[in-house]
A = this chain, B = another copy of it.
C-alpha cells in the first residue's frame, strides 16, 4: 500500500512539474506533437492490435458481455479514427492565452482576463481504450498535463497507446511528464489518486455510475462529472405528429447506447390516442421494448408495465419507458424529479408552450422540435469534446477545449497603490 502511494505520488509530482513548462509551450509545438502521435498510431497499428487482442482474450475468459467486448476492441478502422480525431484537434484554435475580457480602470490599471491551462488533469476511465488518446489530445492542446488511470480490462491496449504517446511527445519538444500513465490496475490507486490535491488540479471520471459516484464522494480534488443521461422527449398536445414521430424515433433508435439517447417518452393525454399507436408500432418494428404506465397501456395493449424504478433508468439499449401526462407542468415535474438534467426535448407547434418548457426544464441542453441526440461537442460546433458534464459548476453540457481551461487576471500599472 505504501509503495502504491509512493508510485502514484511520483507520477503526479512529475505531471505537476511538467505542467509549469507545458503551460508556456507554443501552439505550433503542441500541434506538431499531436501530429506525431497520430502518425505513430497509424504506423504502429499492428502492435496496437496485437496488444489489444490480449485484453480481448482476458475479457472473453472473464465472460464480459459482448457489448463490453465490442467497446474494448480495436481494429484498423478504429485505430485510424483515433488518429484522425487527433488531426481534428490540430485544426481547433488553441484556447491558451486568449483574452476573454479587457478593461482600463479609472486609476489607469489595465486588466486583462486571459485563458490559462487548468494544470494537471486526472482522467479515471473504464473500458474503451480510445479514451486514452482522445483525452491526451484535448488536454495537450489546452496545455494540460494528464495522469491517466484506465481500467484493468484495457490495460494492455492503454499501455501501448501511452507508450506511443510518450514517444511522440518527447520527440516533439513537449516536456517529459506531460502524460503520465498509471501502469497498475489495483483499485486502491484510485482512492490515493483522488486525494492528491497538491499535484492534480481536476479529476474527470469517465465510466459507470458507480465509479463516478465513488469519485465524487471521496475526492478532495475538484471533479467534473460526466453523469448518466436519462433524457426525455415530451410530446405536447400541439405537436406536429410527423415531427413527433421522426424525432422520438431518432432519439431512441439511431444510437441507443449513448448518453444523449432518449430513455423516457412523455405524451400529453390529448394527443396520446393519435400518437401512441403509430409511434409504438414503429418502435416495435425496430425492436424497441416498450414499458408503459397504465394510461399508455390503455391505449396500446401488448406492452410491458413500467415500474417506478424504470423512470430513473438509463437503459442505453433498445428499451423505452412511456408515460401519459395531463399537462406541461406534469411533464416538467416528471423530468425534474426523475431526469439527470442532461438533455430534454419538447415537441410542439405552440411557441409559448415551447418557451415555457425551455425556461423551466433545468437541464444542460433543452430542445424544441429536435432530437436529444444532438448534445455533442461537434454537433454544437464546439469541436471535439472530452465528455458531457451533468454538473453546474465549471462546465455544463459538452466539454471541449475552452472548458479545459481556467483564467488569470493580468494587471499592468505604472505605480498604482490602493487608497
A231, CB-defined interface residue at 8 Å: no
A328, CB-defined interface residue at 8 Å:
no
Chain B contacts of A368 at CB under 8 A? 411-413
Give the CA-CA distance A49 to B406 in the complex, in Å: 42
The answer to whether A192 has its CB under 8 Å from any CB of chain B is no
- Residue picked from A247, A359, A418, most chain B C-beta under 10 Å: A418
Identify which of A128-136, A264-272, A373-381 touches chain B. Answer: A373-381
Which of A103, A111, A379, A392 has most B Cβ within 10 Å? A392
Query: A409 touches which one: B255, B366, B371, B416 (CB < 8 A)?
Result: B366
A393 CB contact (under 8 Å) in B201, B365, B367, B380: B201
Of A55-63, A149-157, A217-225, which binds chain B?
A217-225
Mask for A374-398, Cβ within 8 A of B = 1, else 0?
Answer: 1100011100000000011110110
Closest to A251 in B: B417
CB-defined contacts of A413 to chain B, threshold 8 Å:
367-370
Closest to A396 in B: B406
Chain A interface size, under 10 / 10 to 19 / 20 to 34 / 35 or more: 35 or more
B20 touches A362 (CB 8 A): yes
| Cross-chain contact A416 with B358 (CB below 8 angstroms) | no
A105 within 8 A of B: yes
Which residue from B374, B396, B406, B417 sits with its C-beta under 8 Å from A246? B417
What residues on B are CB-neighbors of A409 within 8 Å? 364-366, 375, 380, 397
Interface pair A366/B415, CB less than 8 Å apart:
no
In the bound complex, CA of A414 to CA of B397 (Å): 22
Choose from B24, B369, B415 the contact partner of A243 (Cβ within 8 Å): B415
Residue of A20, A201, A370, A396 ringed by the most chain B CB atoms within 10 A:
A370
Are B396 and A408 in contact (CB-based, < 8 A)?
A: yes
| Contacts A365-B409, A366-B411; A360 near B396 (Cβ below 8 A) | no
Copies of this subunit = 2
**A47→B218 CA distance, assembly (Å):** 44
B394 pairs with A394, CB closer than 8 A: yes
* Nearest B-chain residue to A364, judged by Cβ: B408
Assess whether A240 is interfacial by the CB under 8 Å rule.
yes
Q: How far apart are the CA atoms of A391 and B116 in the complex, in Å?
A: 13
Q: Shortest distance in angstroms between A397's beta carbon and chain B's nearest beta carbon? A: 5
CB proximity of A398 to chain B, nearest CB, Å: 8
Is residue A191 contacting chain B, with contact meaning CB distance below 8 A? Answer: no
Q: Contacts A24-B359, A415-B240 given: A396-B392 contact, CB under 8 Å?
A: no
Which B residue sits closest to A255, measured CB to CB?
B418
A179 at the B interface (CB under 8 A): no
Q: Can you list, as one digit per residue, whether each of A207-244 has a CB less than 8 Å from chain B (1) or not (0)?
A: 00000000011101011100000000000000010110
Contact A216/B197 with A373-B417, A411-B368 known, Cβ cut-off 8 Å: yes
Given contacts A111-B381, A362-B23, A362-B408, contact A220 B216 (CB under 8 A): yes
Q: Does A407 contact B (CB under 8 A)?
A: yes
Q: What is the bound-complex CA distance between A173 and B415, given in angstroms?
A: 48
Residues of B within 8 A of A365 (CB): 408-409, 411
8 contacts between A and B (CB under 8 A): A20-B362, A202-B393, A217-B220, A218-B220, A247-B415, A365-B411, A396-B408, A397-B407
Measuring CB to CB, which residues of chain A are less than 8 angstroms from any residue of chain B? 20, 23-24, 103, 105, 109, 111, 116, 118-119, 195, 197, 201-202, 216-218, 220, 222-224, 240, 242-243, 246-247, 249-251, 254-255, 336, 354, 358-360, 362-371, 373-375, 379-381, 391-394, 396-397, 406-418
The 6 closest A-B pairs by CB, nearest first: A370-B413, A250-B417, A392-B406, A373-B418, A222-B393, A394-B394
